Structure 1
């Protein structure tokens, strides 16, 4: 192998650099985009005293209404122990309550409280200016296009993961 020719194994290694042709490039770029967005959204939530993991549960509760804890596990991608801790935190703060599920003595549904809805709305108000920071480098129309593409990517029509 000459010093001028790129090593084929090195050239095909995955990175998250712009222009990487690796089969992992999309996933790595999505991971980097997630980190960037999570950092900005964490900044919006910090003054409200909650974290993204709490807000993820509140989103599900606002969207679906009272939700059984095992369904929160699936909806948020969190494990059972993690959901228990998050719901405990939300209950301590008065943002959610656990209620018995009729017909199932072991199951508990989690429901958002009026205080939880207020915090949910406050989080959106706090996030609006930070969202602008996230999309500042995009051209007019690109934020909407990005949302459309990511929505179709995250929610495929055939339901595959």
Structure 2
């Protein structure tokens, strides 16, 4: 269900993560964005190329560092992100239909904790190399 919701986005789930990260605030550099969503720099370049070709993001020179590029969510990207979020919410509602509201909330909280642990595990091996 969730896979179908993001299937139309360039990069699928990776493209969705990029759009979500960009919607959260100041335009990050391409490198900072790659780190934030835990994507290899090369993979990030391909995902951004595809998103930019669909006018969902824009890369522009960073005014603070001419060597870096900022990644900006376009209005079309913001609109597409809204559509995908609504589709994901609908898929989640169908998936959790047999749970009480309390059970669904507890499941979300537990899954969030598991995701945080997984994220730390992704970061920890890199820190151990130092």
Category of TM-score, reference length = shorter chain: 0.7 to 0.9
Aligned residues: 119
Q: CA deviation at 1:106?
A: 1.3
The one-character-per-residue Cα deviations of 1:111-148 (angstroms, maximum 9, x if unpaired) are 00000000001111222221123223434411101122
Unaligned runs of 5+ in 1: 1-39
Report which structure shows greater RCO (CA 8 Å, sep ≥6): 2
Structure 2: tracts of 5 or more residues without a match: 122-130
Name the structure 2 match of 1:109. Answer: 70
Over alpha carbons, which structure has the higher Rg?
1
In the other structure, the counterpart of 1:7 is none
Q: 2:103 aligns with which of 142, 147, 154?
A: 142
Q: Deviation of residue 49 (structure 1)?
A: 4.1
Residue 77 of structure 1, CA deviation: 1.3
Q: Equivalent residue of 1:66, what SS?
A: coil
Determine the structure 2 residue equivalent to 1:3. none
Matches within 5 A, 1:7-156: 40-46=1-7, 48-50=8-10, 51-155=12-116
More helix by share: 2
